[in-house]
C-alpha cells in the first residue's frame, strides 16, 4: 500500500539539494546544472540563505559544515563556530551586574564564523570563483525577494525595539511608514549588496588567481573594512535582553586572529551505519550518545510512535543531554571525556537507568570515574514544572525590571533574541525563530550537510555600513567558572548547531539536519530512527510525527527548562499521549506538522541513484534534483 506523504521523495542520478528556503535550493541546483560541484552549490546556497532568511541567519553568524568527498575517503568538519572575544571574561560580565550572558545585543557576540567557513569550503573543495558563488545573493539583495510571513511577523514584534533603540535596524528592516513589511511584498538590502560588491572588488584586486581572490576576500572580511566596521559598532551602547544598554567586547583584533579550523568528526557505528557529528564544542555528540544508548534496545519491537517507543527515546535523550551539560565544551580549553561518553561500557551503565516512569532529575554520568558537576543555572530546581501550553516556552513570566533596577519600557519586548526553537514570537517578545539548514550531494560522491545560524535581525542591532548584524552565540556559556561550558576568552561556546553525515559500507549515505536549537538532535534522531528501524523513505521519515523532551537546560537565555516536559505533535495517538502522562511525562500537545524542519539528501547503495526530501513544516523548505 502506498503511503501518502506531503511531498515525494526525489530520486535521480545527477545531483540533489535541499534547504530551508526554495530560493536557496533553486540557487544550489542551478550551480550543479552549470557545472559546479556540491561544494560550489553549498556555498552559493548558504549565501542566499543569509539574504532570504535574515530572521534566522546572516553574515555575522556561524555554520558548522560536515563534508564527505569520495576522493578524500572520509568525513571532515569545517568548524565554522567563531570564538569568544578576548575581552569576554566572567569578571567583565559580572561587573555589568549580569548573572547570564544576555540573549541579545552586543555582549552576546562571538567572532562571525560563517564567512570563513564558507570560503574554506570553496577554497579547498570547490571549483567556482568567489564572484560566482556570491552573485545570486547579491542579485537578490539588490533586486529584492518576497517577504515570508515569518519575517513580517518577526519584524512586527521588534518594531518598537528598533524604533526606540536600534535605529539602523529600523532603517534597514522597517518600511517608510515605520511598520513591518507585508508578507509577499518585496524586501531589499542594498547595504548588504554594497558590502559584498566592495568585498569582491578588493578580492579581485589580488589578481586573476581564484585561490588568491578567495584568500583576499577572507582578509578583507576579518582584517579589512568589514572588521573595522564591526570594531566601531561594538564600541557603541545598545539596549539588550538584560534590560539595559551595553557596549560589546568583540574587537577587530578578535576577528583578525581567528581562522576556521578543519577537524575530524566524532562518530559511532549504529546498525550498519557510521554516523558523524561535530566535536563536543557543539551538541552533536548528543546524537551519538543517544544512538549508543538505544543500540541494544529493540525499538522495532516497541512499535513506531508507540508509548514504549516515545518513552524510551525521550528517557535516552534526557541522559545524553545531562551529559552535555556536565561534560561538553571546547576541547581546546577543557578536557572532554568523549571516548568514555561514547563507549559501549559507559552506554550500558547509563542504559540501565532508563526505567518505566519519566525521570524528574538531571542525571549526568561519571565517564572514566570523573565526578559530574553542574552549573547552578542548569539545575532542575530552577526549572518550570508547569504542564500547560506554556511549559516549553522559555522566558514566560520573566520580571520586567532590569537587574540594575531600571524598569523596562513597556513597548520593548523583554526577551528579544532569547530562544531558538521553531514557531512564532510569543506575546512577551520571546523569539521563537531559529536557524537554517542545507544538504547537497553531487554525482561525483561529494556530500555536504550544513546548519547556518546566528546574526539574525531581531537579536542584535544592524551594523551601519554593512547591512547585517552580529550573532548572539555567547549566551550559551555560563558565567560560573570551572565548568565545561563556562565563558572563557578565545573558546567556542557550546553551540546547538548540529548537521549530520552518515556512511554505509565505507561510502557516504545520508546528509541531514534541522533548525531548532536544543531540539535539533531530537527531531533529527527521530528521522534517522524512522528510516533505519522502520524502513521509511526520506520523505516518510521527515513527515512522521515528531516529539521532544524539554527536560534539559536550555542553551538560550534565560537558560531554563521544564521538569519531565514532553512536547508532541497532535498526530501522535491520544492513547499514547495518555499512557505517557501516566508514566509521569508532562505532555504538551502541539499542532500537527509543527516540530522541526528536517531536510535530507542521500545515495542509494548499489545504484547510481541519489535522493532528497524536505519538510513541509514551515511552508518554505524545498528539495530539488534530477
Residue 597's nearest CA partner among 575, 578, 613 is: 613
**Residue 62 belongs to a domain:** yes
Give the total number of structural domains in the chain.
Answer: 1
**Residue 206 belongs to a domain:** yes
Residue 442's nearest CA partner among 277, 598, 626, 210 is: 626
CA distance 243 to 405: 9
**Residue 369 belongs to a domain:** no
All residues at 6 or more sequence positions from 462 whose CB lies less than 8 Å from its CB, including other chains? 166, 168, 169, 171, 172, 173, 468, 469
Predicted pLDDT at 4: 84
**Residue 358 belongs to a domain:** no
* pLDDT 10s digits, 254-310: 999 999 999 999 999 999 999 999 999 999 999 999 999 999 999 999 999 999 999
Residues of the chain by 3-state class (helix, strand, coil), percent to 5: 35, 15, 50
**Residue 353 belongs to a domain:** no
**Residue 335 belongs to a domain:** no
Neighbouring C-beta atoms of residue 75, cutoff 10 Å: 23
Predicted pLDDT at 431: 42
State the cell numbers at 342. 561514547
Predicted pLDDT at 417: 33
Predicted pLDDT at 395: 25
* Cα-based distances in Å from 112 to 81, 412, 477: 7, 27, 16
For residue 270, the surrounding DSSP H or E stretch is strand 266-270
CA distance 65 to 498: 9
Strands lying side by side in the sheet with 266-270: 10-12, 610-614, 599-603, 507-513, 500-504, 273-277, 266-270
**Residue 41 belongs to a domain:** yes
CA distance 347 to 358: 19
All residues at 6 or more sequence positions from 223 whose CB lies less than 8 Å from its CB, including other chains? 252, 255, 256
* Cα-based distances in Å from 187 to 51, 157, 320, 348, 431: 10, 17, 42, 53, 21
User: Which structural domain range is residue 435 located in?
Assistant: 10-265+403-625
Predicted pLDDT at 456: 93
Low-confidence stretches of the chain (pLDDT beneath 50): 386-433
CA distance 528 to 504: 13
Q: What is the CATH number of the domain that holds 443?
A: 3.60.20.40
CA distance 458 to 349: 43
Residue 226's nearest CA partner among 455, 567, 519, 49 is: 455
**Residue 364 belongs to a domain:** no
Task: Please state the pTM of the whole predicted model.
Answer: 0.93
Amino acid at each position: 500500500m502506498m503511503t501518502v506523504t506531503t511531498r515525494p521523495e526525489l530520486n535521480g542520478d545527477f545531483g540533489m539539494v535541499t534547504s530551508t528556503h526554495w530560493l536557496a535550493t533553486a540557487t544550489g541546483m542551478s550551480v550543479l546544472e552549470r557545472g559546479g560541484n556540491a561544494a560550489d552549490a553549498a556555498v552559493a546556497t548558504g549565501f542566499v540563505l543569509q539574504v532570504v532568511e535574515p530572521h534566522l541567519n546572516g553574515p555575522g553568524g556561524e555554520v558548522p559544515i560536515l563534508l564527505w568527498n569520495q576522493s578524500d575517503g572520509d568525513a571532515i568538519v569545517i568548524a565554522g563556530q567563531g570564538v569568544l572575544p578576548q575581552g569576554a571574561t566572567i569578571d567583565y560580565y559580572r561587573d555589568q551586574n549580569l548573572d547570564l550572558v544576555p540573549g541579545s545585543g552586543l555582549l552576546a557576540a562571538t567572532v562571525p564564523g560563517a564567512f570563513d567557513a564558507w570560503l574554506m569550503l570553496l577554497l579547498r573543495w570547490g571549483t567556482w570563483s568567489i564572484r560566482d558563488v556570491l552573485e545570486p545573493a547579491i542579485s537578490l539583495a539588490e533586486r529584492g525577494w518576497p517577504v515570508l510571513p515569518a519575517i513580517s511577523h518577526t519584524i512586527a514584534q521588534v518594531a518598537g525595539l528598533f524604533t526606540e533603540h536600534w535605529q539602523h535596524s529600523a532603517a534597514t528592516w522597517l518600511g517608510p511608514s515605520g511598520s513591518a513589511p507585508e508578507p509577499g511584498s518585496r524586501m531589499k538590502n542594498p547595504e548588504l549588496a554594497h558590502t559584498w560588491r566592495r568585498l569582491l572588488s578588493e578580492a579581485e584586486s589580488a589578481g586573476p588567481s581564484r585561490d588568491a581572490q578567495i584568500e583576499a576576500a577572507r582578509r578583507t572580511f576579518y582584517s579589512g573594512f568589514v572588521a573595522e566596521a564591526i570594531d566601531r559598532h561594538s564600541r557603541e551602547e545598545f539596549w539588550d535582553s538584560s534590560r539595559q544598554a551595553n557596549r560589546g567586547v568583540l574587537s577587530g583584533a578578535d576577528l583578525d586572529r581567528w581562522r576556521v579550523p578543519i577537524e575530524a568528526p566524532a562518530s559511532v557505528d549504529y546498525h550498519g551505519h557510521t554516523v558523524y557529528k561535530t566535536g563536543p564544542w557543539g551538541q552533536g555528540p548528543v546524537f551519538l550518545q543517544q544512538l549508543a544508548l538505544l543500540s541494544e534496545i529493540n525499538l522495532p519491537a516497541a512499535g513506531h510512535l508507540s508509548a514504549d517507543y516515545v518513552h524510551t527515546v525521550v528517557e535516552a535523550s534526557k541522559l545524553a543531554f545531562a551529559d552535555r551539560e556536565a561534560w561538553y565544551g571546547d576541547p581546546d580549553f577543557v578536557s572532554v571525556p568523549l571516548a568514555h561518553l561514547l563507549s559501549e561500557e559507559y552506554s550500558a551503565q547509563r542504559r540501565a537507568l532508563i526505567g518505566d516512569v519519566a525521570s524528574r532529575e538531571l542525571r549526568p554520568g561519571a565517564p572514566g570515574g570523573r565526578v559530574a558537576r553542574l552549573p547552578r543555572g542548569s539545575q532542575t530546581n530552577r526549572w518550570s514544572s508547569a504542564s500547560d501550553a506554556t511549559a516549553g516556552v522559555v522566558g514566560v513570566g520573566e520580571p520586567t525590571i532590569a537587574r540594575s533596577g531600571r524598569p523596562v519600557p513597556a513597548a520593548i519586548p523583554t526577551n528579544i533574541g532569547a530562544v531558538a526553537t521553531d514557531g512564532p514570537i510569543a506575546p512577551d517578545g520571546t523569539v521563537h525563530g531559529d536557524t537554517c539548514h542545507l544538504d547537497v550531494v553531487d554525482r561525483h560522491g561529494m556530500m555536504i550537510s550544513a546548519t547556518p545560524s546566528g546574526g539574525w535581525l531581531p537579536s542584535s542591532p544592524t551594523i551601519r555600513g554593512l547591512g547585517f548584524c552580529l550573532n548572539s552565540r555567547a549566551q550559551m556559556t555560563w558565567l560560573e567558572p570551572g565548568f565545561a561550558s563556562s565563558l572563557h576568552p578565545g573558546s567556542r561556546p557550546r553551540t546547538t548547531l548540529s548537521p549530520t553525515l552518515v556512511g554505509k559500507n565505507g561510502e557516504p549515505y545520508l546528509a541531514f539536519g534541522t533548525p531548532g536549537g536544543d531540539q535539533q538532535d531530537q527531531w533529527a534522531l527521530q528521522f534517522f530512527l524512522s528510516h533505519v528501524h522502520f524502513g521509511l523513505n526520506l520523505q516518510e521519515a521527515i513527515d512522521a510525527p515528531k516529539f521532544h523532551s524539554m527536560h534539559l537546560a536550555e542553551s538560550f537565555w534565560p537558560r531554563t527548562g521544564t521538569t519531565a516536559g514532553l512536547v508532541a505533535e497532535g498526530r501522535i495517538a491520544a492513547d499514547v499521549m495518555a499512557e505517557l502522562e501516566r508514566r509521569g511525562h508532562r505532555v504538551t500537545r502541539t499542532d500537527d506538522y509543527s516540530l522541526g524542519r528536517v531536510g535530507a539528501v542521500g545515495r542509494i547503495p548499489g545504484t547510481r541513484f541519489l535522493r532528497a526530501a524536505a519538510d513541509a513544516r514551515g511552508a518554505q523548505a524545498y528539495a530539488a534534483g534530477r
